[in-house]
Amino acid sequence: MDRISLEKIAEVTRGHMISGDPSHVITDVSTDSRAAGKGSLFIPLIGENHDAHDFVAGARQSGCSAFLISEKEAAERIPGADIVLVSDTLQAMQDLAHYYLTTLDVKKAAVTGSVGKTSTRDMLWYTLSEMFKTGRPEKNYNNEVGVPLTIFSLDSSYKAVVLEEGLEKAGDIHRLSAITRPDVCVITNIGISHIENLGTRENIFRAKLEVADFMLPGGKLIINSDSDFLSKENIDRDLDIIECGTDPKCDYYVHDVHDKGVDGVSFMLRTPEEEIRIDLPVPGAHNALNAALAAAAAECFGASSDNIKNGLSKLSLTGKRLLVREGSGIKIIDDSYNAAPASMKSAVDTLMNTEGKRHVALLAGMNELGADSERYHREVGEYIKEKKVDVLVGVGEKARAIVEGASGGDTYAVWFPEKEAFYSGMKDVIHTGDAVLVKGSNAYKMSEAADRLLEPGALED
Residues 144 and 49 in one domain: no
**Quick one: 425 and 328 in the same domain?**
yes
Residues 28 and 115 in one domain: no
CA distance 223 to 220: 10
Residue 313 to residue 78: CA distance in whole angstroms: 50
Whether the CB-CB separation of 168 and 194 falls below 8 Å is answered with yes
Residues 329 and 424 in one domain: yes
- What was the pLDDT predicted at 89? 98
Same domain, 359 and 417: yes
Which range of residues forms the domain containing residue 19? Answer: 4-87
Give 412-451 pLDDT, tens digit per residue.
999 999 999 999 999 999 999 999 999 999 899 999 999 9
Q: Indicate if 195 and 262 belong to the same structural domain.
A: yes
Give yes or no: residues 228 and 347 share one domain.
no
- Which of 87, 114, 140 finishes a domain? 87
Instruction: Judge whether 299 and 292 are in contact, CB under 8 Å.
Output: no
pTM (predicted TM-score): 0.86
Q: How far apart are CA 5 and CA 275, in angstroms?
A: 50
Give pLDDT, residue 64.
96
What's the pLDDT at 317? 77
Residues 136 and 205 in one domain: yes
The single-letter code of the amino acid at 104 is L
- Residue 185 to residue 173: CA distance in whole angstroms: 12
Tens of pLDDT along 349-406?
A: 999 999 999 999 999 999 989 889 999 999 999 999 999 999 999 999 999 999 999 9
Q: Domain count of the chain?
A: 3
Residue 370 in any domain: the answer is: yes
Query: Contact 69/88 with Cβ under 8 angstroms?
Result: no
Residue 271 lies in a domain: yes
Is residue 258 located within the same domain as residue 401?
no
Tens digits of pLDDT across the chain (461 residues): 999 999 999 999 999 999 999 999 999 999 999 999 999 999 999 998 899 999 999 999 999 999 999 999 999 999 999 999 999 999 999 999 999 999 999 999 999 998 889 999 999 999 999 999 999 998 779 999 999 999 999 999 999 999 999 988 889 999 999 999 999 999 999 988 878 888 899 999 999 999 999 998 999 999 999 999 999 999 999 999 999 999 999 999 999 999 998 889 999 999 999 999 999 999 888 999 999 999 999 999 999 999 999 999 999 877 656 788 898 899 999 988 888 898 899 999 999 999 999 999 999 999 989 889 999 999 999 999 999 999 999 999 999 999 999 999 999 999 999 999 999 999 999 999 999 999 999 899 999 999 999 998 888 76
Measure the CA–CA gap between 363 and 396, rounded to whole angstroms: 9
Which is it for strands 82-85 and 16-19: parallel, antiparallel or unpaired?
antiparallel
Torsions phi, psi of 158, nearest 5? -80, 140
pLDDT at position 139, please? Answer: 77
Let me know whether 255 and 339 are in one domain: no
Q: Cα separation of 130 and 403, whole Å?
A: 45
Residue 59 lies in a domain: yes
**How would DSSP label each residue in 88-111?**
-HHHHHHHHHHHHHHTS--EEEEE
- Tell me, yes or no, whether 93 lies in a domain: no
Q: What is the reported pLDDT for 321?
A: 65
Q: Are residues 137 and 56 in the same domain?
A: no
- Strand 40-42's sheet: what is its strand order? 16-19, 82-85, 66-69, 40-42, 28-30
pLDDT of residue 168: 86
Is residue 207 assigned to a domain? yes
Contact 181, 214 (CB under 8 A): yes
Give, as one character, the DSSP assignment of residue 389. Answer: -
Nearest to 130 by CA among 380, 309, 398, 378: 309
Q: Are strands 160-164 and 107-112 parallel, antiparallel or unpaired?
A: parallel
Q: Is residue 99 part of a domain?
A: no
Q: Of the residues 87, 117, 136, which one is the last residue of a structural domain?
A: 87
The verdict on 222 and 300 lying in the same domain is yes
3-state helix, strand, coil in the chain (%, to 5): 35, 20, 40
Tell me, what CATH number does 146's domain have?
A: 3.40.1190.10
What CATH number has the domain bearing residue 9?
A: 3.40.1390.10
Q: Does residue 92 sit within a domain?
A: no
CATH of the domain at 382: 3.90.190.20
pLDDT of amino acid 196: 83
Please give the distance of CA 420 from its chain centroid, rounded to a whole number.
28
Cβ neighbours around 15 below 10 Å, total: 23
Rounded to whole angstroms, the Cα distance separating 218 from 13 reads 31
pLDDT of residue 457: 85
Query: Taking the alpha carbons of 3, 136, 445, 432 in that order, is the dihedral positive or negative?
Result: negative
Domain end, chosen from 283, 313, 343, is at 313
How far apart CA 460 and CA 442 sit, in angstroms, is 28
pLDDT at 320: 55
Residue 318 lies in a domain: no
